[in-house]
Amino acid sequence: MAETLTLPDTRYSLAEEAILSQPWYSASTLPDALARPSVVTATVEQPTAMPRRILIRKRGPAGSAELQASGSWPRSFLKSAGAVVDLLNLPAGWDSYAAKVIAPQNALQAIRFLADFVGPDTPQPAVVPRVQGGIQIEWHTMSVDIEVYIDAPGRVRWFAERAEAGETLEGPLAGHEAVLKAWVQQISGK
């Protein structure tokens, strides 16, 4: 099922036009048979800013993944999103045991999470694969530790700790986005 996005009447550079002119598909319609290209996309729109897009293209079973971005993104977001895309290249058994490949829908969820939580002053998080096909995003500073576990688009959990104050919080992301954003703002210097 194709997703459509209506863009405002805006002039784009040639590179942006090339990205924006590509067809966009939902993660549920990604064929991987016969090594045809499959596409995972994340679209982020903000009412006061130019729409921003991320395109992740994964090709074939041996696969290569690439990231294309349009719009204005914080550098730490782009590096983190690139790390998420790199995880899509991991083969089954990447941990020398029985680790699953990273699920494209988890990569999509991770990029949407990063787009919502990483600002211009946010330090770049570590992006780590999980053995069941999920993704872990984490920040470890001298005073705060934050870990986000993306096991499926509807199963995102987080943990935050300020050890010196003895403060620890954890739970599902759904319904607690503002609390986690406050923690991320602490490590962003706000």
Please report, in tens digits, the pLDDT of each residue of the chain (190 residues total): 444 444 445 555 565 555 555 544 333 333 443 344 455 544 544 444 545 666 666 665 544 556 666 667 788 888 898 899 889 889 999 999 999 999 988 998 998 899 889 999 999 999 999 999 999 999 999 899 999 999 998 999 999 999 888 999 999 999 999 999 999 999 988 6
Task: State the pLDDT at residue 75.
Answer: 85
In a domain, 5, yes or no: no
- Give the pLDDT score at 89: 85
Tell me, yes or no, whether 2 lies in a domain: no
Long-range contacts of 40-44 (CB under 8 A, 24+ apart): 40/104, 40/105, 40/107, 40/108, 41/3, 41/108, 42/108, 42/111, 42/112, 42/115, 43/3, 43/5, 44/112, 44/115, 44/116
**Residue 130, domain extent:** 14-187
In a domain, 91, yes or no: yes
User: Residue 164 carries which DSSP code?
Assistant: G
Token representation of residue 49: 């800013």
Residue 58 in tokens: 């994964």
**What is the rounded distance in angstroms from the CA atom of residue 156 to the CA atom of residue 174?**
8
CA-based nearest residue to 104, from 69, 149, 55, 137:
55
Give a yes or no: residue 66 inside a domain: yes
Q: Among 60, 11, 15, which residue's Cα sits nearest to residue 34?
A: 60
Position 174 scores a pLDDT of 94
Q: Which two tokens stand for residue 175?
A: 């319904």
pTM, entire model = 0.70
d(CA 5, CA 21): 11
With respect to residue 8, please indicate whether it lies within any of the assigned structural domains.
no
| Rama region for 163: left / alpha / beta (φ>0; ψ in -120 to 50; rest) | alpha
Burial profile 95-104: b = 16 or more Cβ within 10 angstroms, e = fewer: eeeebbbbbb
What total number of domains does the chain contain? 1
Residue 87 inside a domain? The answer is yes
Q: What is the pLDDT of residue 14?
A: 62
Q: Is residue 120 one of the residues assigned to a domain?
A: yes
Residue 177 lies in a domain: yes
